[in-house]
Amino acid sequence: MATTTAPAREARTGPPSILLKTVMAVTGLVGIAYLLIHMYGNLMILVGPEAFDEYAHHIRTFGEPMLPEKGLLWIIRVALLASLVLHVWAAATMWRRANAARSQRYVMTRRGYGNFYAKAMRWGGLAILTFIIFHVLHFTTQTVTIGEAHASPAARVLDTFSHWWGVLIYLAAMIFLGLHLLHGFWGGGHDDGAELLAQARRADPVRLHPGDHHHRGGLHDPAVRHPVRASRLRTADL
């Protein structure tokens, strides 16, 4: 048989994929940090409408007189928007690269963790992006209202969740977000070697791949159970 050679391919350029991945991890963590604060604020609704409205007022006056009114709010908004833009840009670039690297489909694919989350992170991410835009139009700019317009933020929340479809929209968004963070957080900890999460993962990789105990790299593998991270040996020590 004559030697067959494949035609040469053009070199791809652009930022290193690992840099993109780091950008996603850092901006994703900014998102998680904000979500935790946001959740703390939202829980005020369980204390009572007054507590909720007071909190909403406080974030507008926080840091005064060092900061102007809504000063902190705008700092957070700019930081969040920048993170979101970077996160989505990195995700879109990685998505494009993945499609270019795998333009042909297998006739048969294994259904499993990876093939599920490859789709869930991206399409689910788009769903979250759509939700974020809606959410800002709804509660921040009040361009969209569910129920009636109210002056009190708490009243707007209570009115929204007295409509079944209001509940449905927010519930669906939380499911997508939960799914995204399930992989994003455990995967993200692995990303640039963030020590704590990476160790948790090395100690118990089965958490990520239920049912895969028996393969190497699984729970029963001593190399994984007692892993060592290369401390940087210096040539001077040798």
Q: Is 215 in the site for another protein (CB under 8 A)?
A: yes
Q: Is 212 in the site for another protein (CB under 8 A)?
A: yes
Chain Cα centroid distance, residue 5: 42
Quickly tell me which residue has 């900890």 as its tokens: 189
| Nearest approach, Cβ of residue 101 and ligand HEM (Å) | 14
Q: Is 88 in the site for ligand HEM (CB under 6 A)?
A: yes
Q: Is 217 in the site for another protein (CB under 8 A)?
A: yes
Q: Is 51 in the site for ligand HEM (CB under 6 A)?
A: no
Among 146, 156, 180, 205, binds ligand HEM (CB under 6 A): 180
Hey, which residues between 123 and 182 contact another protein (CB under 8 A)? Answer: none
Q: Is 25 in the site for ligand HEM (CB under 6 A)?
A: yes
How many Å apart are CA 37 and CA 47, to the nearest integer?
A: 16
CB 23 within 8 A of CB 90: yes
**Binding residue count for another protein, defined by CB under 8 A:** 70
Q: Is 187 in the site for another protein (CB under 8 A)?
A: yes
The piece of 121-129, 138-146, 160-168, 204-212 that touches ligand HEM (CB under 6 A) is 121-129
Those residues with Cβ within 8 angstroms of residue 139's Cβ, 6 or more apart along the chain or in another chain: 153, 156, 157
Residue 114: how many CB atoms within 10 A of its CB? 12
CB 112 within 8 A of CB 118: no
Question: How far apart are the two ends of the chain, measured CA to CA in Å?
Answer: 51
In 3D space, the residue among 32, 12, 60 whose CA is nearest the CA of residue 185 turns out to be: 32
Among 22, 61, 145, 152, binds another protein (CB under 8 A): 22
Among 18, 47, 75, 137, binds another protein (CB under 8 A): 18
